[in-house]
């Protein structure tokens, strides 16, 4: 488990969360319930880490919706701060771009 994910998980479980406006739009567009992301945070799998992202460290997670379907979510911590956890985006991963586990990109995508 990465340090970024550990901090995000701790913040999410303590409800110290913000959702970006882009995140709200993407949740609505893909029909993802925010509650599902909160409830599945402990079972998330880190797909990619971006410790040096320009707005602050972020992590791409594989999560599940209420039906057990895969969801990718990107969570971050604002640069120079240690809270809150910010849901930057979430989406249903495209099986044409990801392997069957949804943890590795196909063909360098």
What digits encode the pLDDT tens for the residues 58-75? Answer: 999 999 999 999 999 999
Note whether residue 16 is domain-resident.
yes
Residue 107 inside a domain? The answer is no
What is the per-residue pLDDT across 8-35, written as a single tens digit (0 to 9) for each? 999 999 999 999 999 999 999 999 999 9
* CATH code for the domain in which residue 74 is found: 3.30.2310
Identify the domain containing residue 16 by its residue range: 3-93
Answer whether residue 103 is part of any domain: no
pTM for this structure? 0.93
The total number of structural domains that make up the chain: 1
Question: Residue 42's pLDDT band (boundaries 50, 70, 90)?
Answer: very high
What are the distances in angstroms from CA 48 to CA 11, 19, 28, 42, 45? 19, 20, 24, 16, 9
């Amino acid at each position: 488990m990465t340090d970024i994910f550990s901090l995000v998980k701790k913040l999410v479980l303590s409800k110290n969360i913000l959702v970006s406006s882009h995140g709200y739009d993407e949740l609505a567009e893909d029909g993802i319930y925010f509650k599902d992301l909160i409830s599945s945070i402990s079972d998330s799998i880190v797909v990619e880490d971006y410790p040096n992202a320009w707005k602050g460290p972020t992590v791409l997670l594989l999560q599940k919706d209420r039906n057990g379907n895969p969801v990718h979510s990107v969570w971050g911590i604002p640069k120079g701060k240690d809270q809150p956890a910010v849901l930057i985006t979430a989406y249903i991963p495209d099986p044409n771009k990801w392997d069957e586990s949804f943890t590795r990109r196909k063909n360098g995508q």
